[in-house]
Amino acid sequence: MDNQMPRKKVLSCIQPTGTPTLGNYLGALKNWKNISDDYDAAYAVADLHAITVRQDPKMLKKQIMEMYAMLLALGIDREKSIIFVQSHVPQHSQLAWILNCYTQFGEMSRMTQFKDKSSKHADNVNVGLFSYPVLMAADILLYKADFVPVGVYQKQHLEITRDIAERFNGIYGNVFTIPEPFIGKKGAKIMSLQDPEKKMSKSDTNVKSFISLLDKPETIIKKMKSAVTDSESCVRFDEANKPGVSNLMSIYACCTGLSYEQIEKEFESKGYGDFKQKVGEAVVEELRDVQEEFNRLIKDEKYLKECMKDGAEKATRIAQRTLEKVMKKVGYVQI
Ligand code: ATP
Ligand code: LTN
C-alpha cells in the first residue's frame, strides 16, 4: 500500500449472544484478521445490541469475556487495531440517541431482522429491538469507517446507515463518512448442517446444526458426519438441488483454499462418508490455533480486562471527536 495515502478505516462488531459458530468465523471473523493487515481496523463486542433480546446477567458477562477473548485469539495485531467492548464507550449510546431523531419510523419498519426477531421473541418486542440498526449506524459512523465487513445478512442495516448518514450530511454538511459494506465472497453464507436451507446460527436450539468454535475435534467430526446431504452420492456444487453437499463444499473451500472444481475432482470416485470425514478434518485444522489461543486467554481475566481498558481508551478518543462535532452541528452548547 502507498505510504503517502492514509489507510482506509474499517469497523465491525459481533454480538456476545453465544459461542461463535463456524458460520460466524468463516463469514466474518476470519476475514477480520486479514483485513486488519491492510486497514485501520476497529472491532467491538456489541454488548449493547445483545440486550435487545433478554439476557441472563451472569451468562451475558461470561459471553462478553468469551467473545472478547475470541477476538484476541484471532491473532489481530493490537498495536495496529483497536479491539473493544461497545458498552465501555458511552459515545455509542449518545450518538445513537441523536441519530434516532434523524431516522424515520417507516424506514425502520422495513428492516427484515426486526421482523424475524420480533416474531421469534413475540413476548419481548422492545423498542431497542426496533431501533437496533440506529445503534449500529452510530457504531459505524463514530469511527468514520470506509468499509464495514459484515455477512450478507447485515446488508440492509448497512444501507440504512448510509441513508441516515447522507440525511445528516445533507442538513449539516460533511460530518459522516458514507460506509460501504465489505462482504467476502467465500463463506458469506454458511448454512445449517441439519437444514441447509437455513443459515448456520449460534442461537439454533439444535446443537447438531452448527459447529461451535469451541467444539472438540471429535465433536466436529461427529457433527460433520451427521450433516444432511442427499441420496445422489456425488460431490458436486449445485446450491439449488444439492444444498447440503454445496454447503459442505463451501466450508471445505474456505478451510483449504481449493476451488469447487478441485474439490469435485478430489472426491470424484468417493462417497459422502470420505467427503464428510475430510471436511471435518479440514475444519479441525482450521480452528486449531484459534482454539488453543482462546483456551489460554480465557483463563487470564486480568489480562483480558487490561486489553479491554486499552481498547476502550483508544476507541473513546476517536468516538469523542466525532460526537463533539455532531453535537456542535446540531446546536448543543459546548462547555
Ligand atoms: P444469532 O443466532 O444470535 O442471531 P448469528 O450466529 O446468526 O447470531 P450474528 O451475531 O448475527 O450471527 O452475526 C455475526 C457475524 O457473523 C455477522 O457479520 C454475520 O453476517 C456473520 N454470520 C452469521 N451467521 C453466518 C453464516 N451462517 N454464514 C456466514 N456469515 C454469518
Ligand atoms: N448487527 C451486527 C452486529 C453489529 C455490527 C455493528 C456489525 C453491531 N454493530 C457495526 C458491523 C458494524 C450483527 O448482529 N451481526
pLDDT digits (tens, 9 = 90+) for 104-148: 999 999 999 999 999 988 999 999 999 999 999 999 999 999 999
Comparing CA positions, the residue from 186, 145, 140 lying closest to residue 27 is 186
Largest CA distance in the chain: 74
Residue 233 φ/ψ region, left for φ over 0, alpha for ψ in the -120 to 50 degree band, beta for the rest? left
Helix (H) / strand (E) element for 321: namely helix 301-330
Residue 13: is its pLDDT beyond 90? yes
> Are the beta carbons of 45 and 304 closer than 8 angstroms?
no
Residue 204 is predicted with a pLDDT of 87
| Rounded CA separation 250/247 (Å) | 5
| Rounded CA separation 76/88 (Å) | 20
Please tell me the number of Cα atoms within 13 Å of 105 on its side-chain side.
1
CA–CA distances in Å: residue 227 to residues 131, 192, 216, 244: 36, 9, 17, 7
How many whole angstroms from 48 Cα to the centroid of ligand 2?
11
Residue 92 is predicted with a pLDDT of 98
Residue 4 is predicted with a pLDDT of 64
Q: Say whether 190 sits in a helix, a strand or coil.
A: coil
Q: Where do the domains of the chain lie, and which CATH numbers do they carry?
A: 9-187+301-330 (3.40.50.620), 207-295 (1.10.240.10)
Q: Say whether 182 sits in a helix, a strand or coil.
A: strand
Judge if the beta carbon of residue 251 lies within 6 A of ligand 1: no
pLDDT digits (tens, 9 = 90+) for 180-236: 998 776 666 899 999 999 999 888 889 999 999 999 999 999 999 999 999 999 999
Judge if the beta carbon of residue 189 lies within 6 A of ligand 1: yes
Question: Which residue, judged by its Cα, is nearest atom 7 of ligand 2?
Answer: 13
Sheet with strand 82-85: strands edge to edge: 82-85, 40-45, 9-14, 147-149, 180-182
Comparing CA positions, the residue from 9, 4, 68 lying closest to residue 321 is 9
Residue 1: is its pLDDT beyond 90? no
Q: Give me the percent of the chain exceeding a pLDDT of 90.
A: 86
How many whole angstroms from 23 Cα to the centroid of ligand 1?
6
Question: Which residues does residue 21 pair with via DSSP β-bridges, in sequence order?
Answer: 212
How many whole angstroms from 24 Cα to the centroid of ligand 1?
5
- Neighbour tally for 128: CB within 10 Å: 15
Judge if the beta carbon of residue 41 lies within 6 A of ligand 2: no
| Rounded CA separation 82/280 (Å) | 33
64, 153, 155, 212: residue to mutate for ligand 1 pocket, most atoms within 8 A of CB: 153
DSSP 179: P
Residues in the chain, total:
335
Select which of 9, 30, 117, 242 is catalytic.
Answer: 117
| 216 among known catalytic residues | no
Q: Give me the percent of the chain exceeding a pLDDT of 70.
A: 98
Judge if the beta carbon of residue 96 lies within 6 A of ligand 2: no
pLDDT digits (tens, 9 = 90+) for 284-301: 999 999 999 999 999 999
| 117 among known catalytic residues | yes
Q: How confident is the model at residue 152 (pLDDT cuts 50, 70, 90)?
A: confident
Question: Which residue, judged by its Cα, is nearest atom 26 of ligand 1?
Answer: 23
Residue 151 is predicted with a pLDDT of 76
